Amino acid sequence: MTWDNTNVLCFAADAGICTASGEVAAGDLKVGDLVETREAGLQAIRWIGKRRLDAAMLAEHPKLRPIRICKGALGAGRPTADLVVSPQHRILVRSRIAQKMFGTPEVLVAAKQLCQIEGIDVAEDLDEVTYIHFLFDTHQIVLANGAETESLFTGDEALKSVGPAALEEIFTIFPELRAPEHAHVPARELVSGRQGRKLAMRHLQNRKPLVGEVRGEGKTV
């Protein structure tokens, strides 16, 4: 990976990913493992990337320091245990506030944009971190420590972050991604940094959880 790029989308290695075999640490996942997804059921992992950042590298690249989402910080008891992710890794927010701001109750927001919320902050105490990211045939919502979050998204900025060798591996598996006209379809609307911070602030001001019930058309989403 090229660590001058801060758009790295990863789980810490100890994040518990919901799979066909139960919860498995992200660092123990293998290509071919079946992971539970929100819309598509069990999906096979097609590619996995891994990189350890030691204290020296984190000191040199402070923007890569992980974000810790403490147990229950998202609301609705999520995550079920502290979840550590890279700053740009997106977390699913579900709320009436999201509905009002974006016209949809569920959006994906980079973890670092949620640091205004109590229990979500830069994990300054970690001397090192091993980042893991994995790719399916399509972008999916998965469960990590009980929190809904994303698999690796193959948008242009995300692909730039993995480095030339990893990118070539991904292109070998998914040659269609080389085509400039290829459509990258996210699992949910991807909220910009500015809008993500505004969304977090509105939840804070209204004392509402980032994950809650949204009622509409006679059903709970």
Cα 183 to its chain centre, rounded Å, is 20
Q: What share of the chain is helix, strand, coil (3-state, %, to 5)?
A: 25, 30, 45
Name the pTM for this structure: 0.86
Q: What is the pLDDT of residue 201?
A: 98
- Give the DSSP H/E element, type plus range, for residue 107: strand 106-110
The larger pLDDT score, comparing residue 214 to residue 219, is at 214
- % of the chain with per-residue pLDDT over 90: 69
Rounded-to-integer distance, Cα 67 and Cα 146, Å:
16
**pLDDT per residue over 46-87, tens digit each?**
989 888 999 999 999 898 899 999 999 999 899 999 999 999
User: Which range is least confidently modeled, 117-126, 169-178, 180-189?
Assistant: 169-178
Averaged pLDDT for residues 184-209: 95
Which ranges of the chain does DSSP label H, i.e. alpha helix? 55-60, 96-102, 156-160, 164-173, 193-206
CB 45 within 8 A of CB 27: no
Please report, for the chain, the start and end positions of each structural domain, with discontinuous segments joined by +.
Answer: 11-214
| Region 11-214: CATH code | 2.170.16.10
Burial degree of 81 (CB within 10 A; 0-12, 13-18, 19+)? middle
Which position has the token pair 């001058």? 4
Contacts of 84 (CB under 8 A, 6+ apart): 11, 12, 14, 15, 66, 67, 68, 69, 123, 126, 129
- Longest Cα separation, the chain: 54
Phi, psi values for residue 115, rounded to 5°:
-70, -5
Helix (H, G, I), strand (E, B) or coil at 149: strand
Which position has the token pair 């992971």? 35
CB 48 within 8 A of CB 115: no
Which pLDDT band holds residue 167 (cuts at 50, 70, 90)?
low
In one-letter notation, the amino acid at residue 189 is E
